[in-house]
Structure 1
Amino acid sequence: MRTARMLAGKSLGLLSTISALALTLGSAYAQDAAAPEPETGIRDIVVTAQKRSENLQDVPISVTAVSGESLGAAQVTTLQALQGTIPNVQIDNFANTPQTAVFTVRGIGVIEPDPYAGNTVSIVVDGIPQFFSMGALLDLYDVDRIEVLRGPQGTLFGANTTGGVVNVVTAQPTGEFGGFVKSAYGNYDRFDLSGSIEAPLVKDLLSLKVAGIHTQRKGWVTNVVDGSDLGRKNLDAVRAYLRLAPDGSDFDATLQGEYVNARNGSPIVINGSYRGEAIFEEPGVDGMYPSPCISGGQCRAPKKYYGANNSVPDISNMDTYTGGLTINYRNTPIGDLTSITGYKKFKLVEYTDQDGTPEFKNDTYRRTRGWQFSQELRSNIAVNDDIDLLIGGFYLKTHYDHIQAYRLQFAAPGLLQINLQDQDNYSISGFAQSYWQVTDRLKLQAGIRYSHEKTESTPSLETSIGNPAGSNYTGIGNTVIGAFTTGGTESWDNVGWKLGADYDLGDRRLLYASWARGFKSGGFTGRVGVPADGSEPFDPETVDTFEVGVKADFLDRRLRTNLAIFYTNYRDLQVAQIYFDSTTSTQGNRILNAGKAEIKGFELETTAVPVEGMTLRASLAYLDAKYKTFAYIDPLSGAALDLQGYRLQNAPKWNASFGANFVVPLGNGAELVTDVNYAYTSSKYYTAILDTPRSKIQPTHLVDGTITYYPAGRAWSLGLWARNLLDSRYISTVYDSPGYGGIAGYAPPRQFGGTATFNF
């Protein structure tokens, strides 16, 4: 109760501050609320953040929307390219598992690459949540928009959304003939070809649409072993829709499917070890490059990127199949019905040189297969003129099996560990969200969701000794020196909710406040080193977020300012720990439930159109994310540590951006559109509980730009684009394992090229 009173007091204090600010702004720019909406200024953006189509400025959530047009102009082909451009959102990957998405929103994010750890930020594609973070760094093509929702979204989107939701909406069929073809060429021999075509099969009834992309490039890291490039990419994807929409009917159905074929180079591990550590290699010996962390402190990226792979095939192959069926039936006796059925299956095979040196020290073969099936059924019901109700149910079933063959040549020649993971999960939930228009200006909302989840896990580990040359990944013929199987079955029940109020100040200004509770599922550790790692489940984590904000347009919609202030109480947060078990001389892995963390901050986003043809945008975000209570035993020293005040992982204190877009008329309807964007992210700690110097990522400054020519009618266009225009060199990820070494990854260098697009 004392905690609840403290939280409520902090929330009320923030609410008073933001209310005073909003009322002051409203008085300073008061206009006639009944005046017609001007045709000039900032355009409205329609989003589905609350599972219904609404104007972004009417949604009482901190949400950023990025249009498909903006993504296309900047030649963005993956979600990771948005890193640094969205307030309080980090989009990364782990160096040795680049296919795994690491999304962190407001300091809450992914802690482990393997599926057993789950997600805290849900990636939703056309209404279907993506359970697996493997493959969730989506390849973007023919996208309508991306909506990034910050804060717990458990009421409408379910478990594992304690950080937020990334809602990807692809360009759906329209029932009209049309399409486009787009090609791009850039440095590192990058070549992209994408396009779509839609053709009505039966006019005003049935339409078929097909979209696809091919993208390829060389890697930007040079292998010191043979001079080859590391990190190449080669991907093909195709997505098809069949839409049934009878003219004049309240019924429509869309069946869609996608296949993605990725044939990339193996993960790049940059050796970031110190002298004296297990995988350190002296620079210059056998062509070894200097470790970017060799100074003994914070790692620094060099001007030229070098790595090493001498022991594994250069392979990271992934095949993904997805299917979905969305049915809408409006104006039924029980409201507007929506059914969304989804299925996804994937297989990932990759090899990784884990030491990143010209010597054979250790490497892995990893194979993961997984599938998911989901079903959501919901109804939007207009109870009366003042009350709307969204009610529904959701079911999710998932399975994955995983093999990791880990050759530890540095520990003993021929030493091999084979970890098998086999896990099943299911979740079922019911939810309801209500909206009550109390007065013409005041609206209240209340939502609740009950969830039941169950996990069955049976991981195992076999350790053997074989050929000293270490050529065996199967273990066949080796001498087994240890083996065990562990795991268990556990289920959890949870009730999450959201309470909120928003007040229309008039003149397109909205003040809102909310209290949301979300949770992340519990589970079992799958990548085990000792039986105890996987025998006991880790508990769910719970988040309470209090948020107040204002969304306001001024000056005849030529200035838009959106501000959100939040306070989060984070309990039983899950933290990944890799440790050394002295009794068995084995490396172990486990998920800890830390005590509590406190997260507070704000997001400010502004857009201005001072004159026609000029759009300015800026954002500023602040994040204070620290442990409040965490009694931690250091596995290296055995010392008991109090980590109160330590910063959370992947949670930079400041994040800012500034952009400008200019539309220059060239006569006869032709236009030249230029866009430039600067993004700043302050320093952060990455995958190290103790906030060690080696785990610290330096502040980053990135500049992107585009220039595009459109003739009258925009039937075609030609463009130039550049990302990281100043060619700044940065470390993007570091895993710090004291005594063993550091595993680092480099951020992309400057990329540039040209595009040509034809619309029909």
Structure 2
Amino acid sequence: NTYDNKYVDRQQNGVGRLRLAYKPNERLRFVFSSQYDNSSQKGYPYAIYNDKKNQIKKVNYNDESYYDREMLSNSLVTTYAFKPFILESVTAYQHIKDKQVVDQDFTARDMFSGQQKQNINILSQEIYLKSKPPKDAKYEWITSVFAFYQHVDKNVDVNFKKDAIAVIPKLPAPMYYQENFDNPNFAWAISHESTFNDVLIKGLSVNLGLRFDREYSDLDFVKDTYLTASNKKIKALNFDSNLHFSQWLPKAGLNYHLSPNANTYVSISKGYKVGGFNTSFAQEEDRTYSPEYSWNYEWGIKALLWEKKLRTSLSLFYIDWRNQQVYQPIIDEKGQVRPGSLLQNAGKSRSKGLEFSATAFITHNLQMNARLGYTDAEYV
């Protein structure tokens, strides 16, 4: 940064991991995993770009910018093998604490700066029941129950400084606002999937699945605006809103073994992504965004060639989206662009393409991988 002659892209990272496994008998097994991440990053190497001259200026801004994060992730996997089926429980907890400070104009002028702090706690529990089919079994199944709780506590401070008045003429004086977000979420789901083997002909499998999702979200939002010189509150906004979503998600597929080393498949499934709250917005209608939906179609073929020395996979896909969630700039009621971005729903979009991968096992200790992908996506 030429403003203070300090590096802006330095970072320090530390990671610690722990894994414990205990198997008291042949049927029961416990696996505990824990990981702690700590990162401290200076930021950000952004500079002004002059599009007329096609020239990037030097990094030169006056406000301190950095990002610090702590993350703790724990999980306990318990597995018990009954004679006809396997019971598996996955319990997980994650804690994230971070802080971002940023010069929002990235110039040497005293214009805009912001700070954001978050505390996130996530607790989840999933229980699986799955069959233990013998070899050449005609039927396989898996059933699961899932529950999830997330609590996000976020604080945002944004400063409009003295030089911002030249950019925003209607700004009465240097000012700042503080936003507080208290956002708990709770979700649960239940699903079942069945696979029928050797249907009509040997090697043909039919897969059918169904999942039901339910999610609840609440947002307690407070925003206070102050004059910088006197700390006088000049504007206040607060609301408490809640959303809830539910959806049935079916899936179906066919798989056919062309030979012991090759199979082809086709599948169709419904995709779903819940709606939620925008944490930055300028108009009331942008406070929330709706769920997005998709129908996903895929055909593929997999094969082991050359005496199993080459593994190949080719797939073609088509995705039909409704209400796709897309990040957009923040626009106020006067049509002016504000700093930041928010999620909005696009009307309709589609995506199609192909993916190819190959792995060559050259020697016992050497293998080569190649991947190729092509995607054509558009709003329609």
Superposed, which structure 2 residues align to 1:169-568 within 5 Å? 223-246=1-24, 248-265=25-42, 267-268=43-44, 270-272=46-48, 291=49, 294-296=50-52, 306-312=58-64, 314-332=65-83, 335-382=85-132, 385-409=137-161, 410=164, 411=168, 412=171, 414-438=174-198, 439-467=201-229, 477-534=230-287, 537-568=288-319
Distance verdict in 2 for CA 1:617–1:330, change over 3 Å: same
Distance verdict in 2 for CA 1:565–1:399, change over 3 Å: same
Superposed, which structure 2 residues align to 1:596-745 within 5 Å? 596-609=348-361, 615-628=367-380
| CA-CA distance at 1:524 after TM superposition | 1.8
**Which residue identity lines up with residue 185 of structure 2 in the other structure?**
N
**Which residue identity lines up with residue 268 of structure 1 in the other structure?**
Y
SS at match of 1:360: coil
Alpha-carbon separation, structure 2, partners of 1:460 and 1:577:
23
Q: For each residue in 1:275-334, what CA deviation from the matched residue of structure 2 results, as whole angstroms up to 9, or x when unmatched?
A: xxxxxxxxxxxxxxxx2xx1259x88x6xx94234212x53221222221110001245x
Alpha-carbon separation, structure 2, partners of 1:387 and 1:615:
35
Alpha-carbon separation, structure 1, partners of 2:342 and 2:116:
19
User: Which structure has greater helix proportion?
Assistant: 1
Distance verdict in 2 for CA 1:400–1:599, change over 3 Å: same
| CA-CA distance at 1:584 after TM superposition | 10
1:35 match: none
**Which residue identity lines up with residue 245 of structure 1 in the other structure?**
K
Gaps of 5+ in 2: none
1:461/1:529 contact within 8 Å kept: no
| CA-CA distance at 1:249 after TM superposition | 1.4
1:459/1:527 contact within 8 Å kept: no
Comparing 227-236 with 411-420, greater Cα deviation is found at 411-420
2:47/2:58 contact within 8 Å kept: no
Alpha-carbon separation, structure 2, partners of 1:575 and 1:233:
30
**Which residue identity lines up with residue 317 of structure 2 in the other structure?**
F
Alpha-carbon separation, structure 2, partners of 1:240 and 1:614:
30
| CA-CA distance at 1:227 after TM superposition | 2.0
Alpha-carbon separation, structure 1, partners of 2:221 and 2:45:
26
Q: For each residue in 1:518-549, what CA deviation from the matched residue of structure 2 results, as whole angstroms up to 9, or x when unmatched?
A: 10011122223344432xx3211011110000
Alpha-carbon separation, structure 2, partners of 1:340 and 1:611:
37
2:357/2:370 contact within 8 Å kept: yes
| CA-CA distance at 1:579 after TM superposition | 3.5
**Which residue identity lines up with residue 480 of structure 1 in the other structure?**
K
| Root-mean-square deviation over aligned CA pairs | 2.5
Which one scores higher on RCO, CA 8 angstroms, separation ≥ 6?
A: 1
Gaps of 5+ in 1: 1-222, 273-290, 468-476, 629-760
| CA-CA distance at 1:419 after TM superposition | 2.0
Distance verdict in 2 for CA 1:490–1:610, change over 3 Å: closer
| CA-CA distance at 1:459 after TM superposition | 2.2
Alpha-carbon separation, structure 1, partners of 2:18 and 2:312:
38
Distance verdict in 2 for CA 1:553–1:310, change over 3 Å: same
| CA-CA distance at 1:430 after TM superposition | 0.3
SS at match of 2:90: strand
> With structure 1 as the length reference, what TM-score do the two structures score?
0.46
Distance verdict in 2 for CA 1:481–1:578, change over 3 Å: farther
Distance verdict in 2 for CA 1:356–1:580, change over 3 Å: same
Q: For each residue in 1:490-528, what CA deviation from the matched residue of structure 2 results, as whole angstroms up to 9, or x when unmatched?
A: 211101121011111114111011001110011122223
Alpha-carbon separation, structure 2, partners of 1:568 and 1:595:
14
Identity %: 22
Distance verdict in 2 for CA 1:602–1:495, change over 3 Å: same
Alpha-carbon separation, structure 1, partners of 2:191 and 2:209:
7
1:434/1:446 contact within 8 Å kept: yes
Distance verdict in 2 for CA 1:236–1:437, change over 3 Å: same
Alpha-carbon separation, structure 2, partners of 1:374 and 1:296:
52
Alpha-carbon separation, structure 2, partners of 1:456 and 1:433:
32
User: Size of the alignment, in residue pairs?
Assistant: 367
Distance verdict in 2 for CA 1:563–1:578, change over 3 Å: same
1:758 match: none
Alpha-carbon separation, structure 2, partners of 1:522 and 1:593:
9
Q: For each residue in 1:676-718, what CA deviation from the matched residue of structure 2 results, as whole angstroms up to 9, or x when unmatched?
A: xxxxxxxxxxxxxxxxxxxxxxxxxxxxxxxxxxxxxxxxxxx
| CA-CA distance at 1:408 after TM superposition | 2.3
> With structure 2 as the length reference, what TM-score do the two structures score?
0.89
| CA-CA distance at 1:365 after TM superposition | 0.9
SS at match of 2:26: coil
Distance verdict in 2 for CA 1:584–1:575, change over 3 Å: closer
User: Which structure has greater strand proportion?
Assistant: 2
Q: For each residue in 1:363-413, what CA deviation from the matched residue of structure 2 results, as whole angstroms up to 9, or x when unmatched?
A: 111101110110000111147721111001000000101111111222355
Distance verdict in 2 for CA 1:308–1:487, change over 3 Å: farther
2:282/2:333 contact within 8 Å kept: no
